[in-house]
Amino acid sequence: MSRPAIIISELDAVRIDKLLEKPEYATLPVAQALNTELDRATLLSPQAMPHNVVSMQSEVEFRDLNSGERYVRKLVYPSQMTDSSTQLSVLAPVGAALLGLEVGSTIQWTLPGGSETHLEVLGLRYQPEAAGDFHL
């Protein structure tokens, strides 16, 4: 299955690499998938990030194309998770799938247990790089 091109900020990539080196995260099923995504991503400085790409701390509106349900979630690191109704961990399968996608992109992603989800990025309500917040 081909995947859409993704762009990840160098700062996000370094932080996610460090996260995935931690024993409590390294063995999670999503860790290998996220490593694969980092390996294939185009890396850019935070200042060079396009303003239509999902980065860490972005508030993203997306749709599950299988169910038609729409969601708005802030993409966060696991240590920042406080409310699953407003936040999504990058180590959750859907969070890993959304990282680096442009608005309008779709992706099919394998979930734990082997089922597939099909997601579409509808918009960004906030992106740190677009707001000049380059170190979040």
**What domains, with CATH codes, occur in the chain?**
7-129 (3.10.50.30)
What is the pLDDT, as a whole number, of residue 1? Answer: 52
CB atoms within 10 A of CB 59: 18
- pLDDT tens per residue across all 136 residues of the chain: 568 899 999 999 999 999 999 999 998 889 988 999 999 999 999 999 999 999 999 999 999 999 999 999 999 999 999 999 999 999 999 999 999 999 999 999 888 788 888 999 999 999 999 999 988 7
Rounded (to 5) percent helix, strand, coil in the chain: 30, 30, 40
Sheet-wide strand order for 106-110: 87-89, 70-76, 59-64, 116-126, 106-110
